[in-house]
A and B are shown apart, each in its own frame.
Chain A
Amino acid sequence: MELKDLKEIKAIIDLMKKNDLSVFEIEKEGFRLKLQRGTPDQTTTSAPPGTASLPKIAIIPAETGKPADTSSLKDIVSPMVGTFYRAGSPDGVPLVDVGKTVTEDTVVCIIEAMKVMNEIKAETSGVIAEVVAENGKPVQFGQVLFRVR
């Protein structure tokens, strides 16, 4: 995993402050960086006092990077072309999440193709290790949707 130069990150933070930007996100092969000013979800993390205005840095390895134990991870890939949805309905709860145990028949997501909602089954068993595809985004045939341990 590559870390962007700390200098570069500081430069981005300054740019954000100057231009009053609240979110900056960049994704490259092997790494993803998201900077968020202000703390809209303060309830999930306890920030030390005085740091409330500091941007939160979350460095997330992108799916093309090699996870720790590749050998035991299986890919759930898209069997069709369409739009990937995590929930069965627009306001619904995601069908699966990281940590959920699935069997071959577990419906893990919906792929919408030509106005038809297709239920996609896991076709494998294990525990969801990673949600790879992005909700509401198009997916192509063979694209990795989830990784299962």
Chain B
Amino acid sequence: MFEKVLIANRGEIALRVIRACKELGVRTLAVYSEADVDSLHVQLADESICIGAAPSTESYLKIDRIMSAAEIGDVDAIHPGYGFLAENPHFAEVCESCNIKFIGPSSRAMQAMGDKNAARVFARKAGVPVTPGSDGIVETDSDAIKIAKKIGYPIMIKAVAGGGGRGMRTAHNEPSLKSAFHSARHEAEKAFGNEQIYLEKLILNPHHVEFQIVADSHGHVVHLGERDCSIQRRNQKVIEECPSPLMTPGLRKKMGNDAVKLAKSVGYENAGTIEFLVDQERHFYFIEMNTRIQVEHTITEEVYACDLVKEQIRIAAGQPLSPHVAHATPRLHAIECRINAEDPEKDFQPSPGRIAFYYAPGGRGVRIDSHVYTGYSVPPYYDSLIAKIITVGATRINAIDRMRRALDEYYITGIKTTVPFHAAIMRSAEFRDGNYDTGFIERVMSSGKLELSTPATQLRE
């Protein structure tokens, strides 16, 4: 097992990794920006080193400074969390050449699946169904029109270097395709430094269902079931649940086997997620693989009774898959709500600032993964996720009602949060019926039907 691990991240995931390390008896080194001096992960780590100014490009993305800190701190391994450098093959390579274990897949596997178009090729080769689309990169708008005609509208234009819901455009007909094609390329160049795009058929009203993969360095690859992440706003997940309401044991077996097949075919190691779209007829199509631990790994942990971050560290340290992970079976139902520092009444405008008072719910079946506390100032430089609330129940409705109860207790003042938004979703009939798809939030917001709940509890501070 490692002696010391550097956590190359911040916020709730840095805290998550530190907790796993502490339970494993591994010492922790936190690196942080000047904006995160008082962050909980910095305070709880055994050691900490400031690596730069607030902007991510000046700190959390500075590979040289992180490696310097790793050298000074004499660490054995680096956990990249999610976002930042977690899916940066160059960073993984630098770690490899410095003999510091990168807690995740090899840079080669990361590279293979990081190019979204190449990942589709791997999927096809492995016999995994992919969304009908272009057989590679689309160079010109006339090529795009030709391919779109073959696949059929509506069409999704995606950046090969994109992912996480970014770098995507839709075109519902030929006249709009040309301009969508060019604006997608332009945005891709600006956002990812790579203008290459490919086309996919837009699956209408799909469910976004992803499978958790865990693979050790001894060739064992297993899947830990699925997560339904269809509740999204602007292609960003807001609510996830495990298991998926539309899953059947037969479908889970098929999709799970395909996920494992694909991971094995690229020699994948450590934790990863294979994302699929599932249409109304329960046809599934591979869309992309995330070569990192994900935000919503928590609900899989609750249902499959495991600690995925500890398992990541164990795998990186060379240990074989833990028996309880290798033979995990699902129990109960779990839901996660991502609480952001955003104002749901003002189109989810970011709401950074000082949290005047913070009280998180508790009780049976409630888990909170959060780095914030009373008096903490949410900085404006990073993503707005301040907490993840996870509830577990014997049935899906139990988990939903428990989440409703817990959200009503969640008391945060000083900044605006999306707690009332989530509380309203938990009360929505469509969500409770499990009858939703990726268009749900859009529909329910534009229909004005979602009544933002004010918390049932008003705590006297």
Contact = CB atoms under 8 A, between A and B. Distances in A.
Given A80-B64, A113-B64, 4 more contacts: A80-B68, A81-B72, A138-B72, A143-B50
A81 B68 contact: yes
B71 interface: yes
Contacts of B59: 141
A142 B34 contact: yes
Residue of B34, B49, B65, B68 with highest tally of chain A CB at under 10 A: B68
Nearest to A80: B65
B114 interface: no
A140 B42 CA distance: 14
A133 B69 CA distance: 17
B49 to A, nearest CB: 5
A114 interface: yes
A113 B98 CA distance: 13
15 contacts: A80-B65, A81-B49, A81-B51, A81-B65, A82-B72, A113-B64, A113-B68, A114-B71, A138-B72, A140-B51, A141-B49, A141-B50, A141-B52, A141-B53, A141-B65
Contact of A114 (B49, B53, B64): B64
Interface of A: 80-83, 113-114, 138, 140-143
Contacts of A83: 72
Interface residues of B, number: 15
Contacts of B67: 114
Contacts, number: 41
Interface of B: 34, 49-53, 59, 64-65, 67-69, 71-72, 98
Contacts of B51: 81, 140-141
A81 B69 contact: yes
Nearest to B72: A138
A149 B351 CA distance: 41
Contacts of B50: 81, 140-143
Nearest to A111: B68
B34 A82 contact: no
Residue of A81, A82, A114 with highest tally of chain B CB at under 10 A: A81
A80 B31 CA distance: 13
A140 B71 CA distance: 12
Contacts of A138: 49, 72
Contacts of B69: 81, 140
A118 to B, nearest CB: 10
A138 B31 CA distance: 14
A141 B60 CA distance: 12
A138 to B, nearest CB: 4
A35 to B, nearest CB: 29
A60 to B, nearest CB: 25
Contacts of B52: 141-142
A114 B68 contact: yes
A140 B426 CA distance: 46
A138 B73 CA distance: 9
A114 B64 CA distance: 8
A109 to B, nearest CB: 15
Contacts of A142: 34, 50, 52-53
Contacts of A82: 68, 72
A138 B65 CA distance: 12
Nearest to A81: B68
8 pairs of A and B residues whose beta carbons are closest in the complex: A81-B68, A113-B68, A138-B72, A140-B50, A140-B49, A81-B65, A141-B50, A141-B52
Contacts of A143: 50
B90 to A, nearest CB: 15
B95 to A, nearest CB: 12
Nearest to A115: B71
Contacts of B68: 80-82, 113-114
A20 to B, nearest CB: 33
A95 B215 CA distance: 52
Nearest to A116: B64
A117 to B, nearest CB: 13
A134 to B, nearest CB: 14
A82 B66 CA distance: 10
Nearest to B37: A142
A89 B71 CA distance: 20
Contacts of A114: 64, 67-68, 71, 98
A138 B72 CA distance: 7
Nearest to B66: A81
Contacts of B98: 114
A114 B51 CA distance: 14
Residue of A140, A141, A142 with highest tally of chain B CB at under 10 A: A141
Nearest to A79: B52
A133 to B, nearest CB: 13
A93 B50 CA distance: 29
Nearest to B31: A81
Contacts of B64: 80, 113-114
A82 B64 CA distance: 10
A111 to B, nearest CB: 9
Nearest to A142: B50
A66 B50 CA distance: 23
Contacts of A140: 49-51, 69
Residue of B34, B64, B72 with highest tally of chain A CB at under 10 A: B72
A114 B99 CA distance: 12
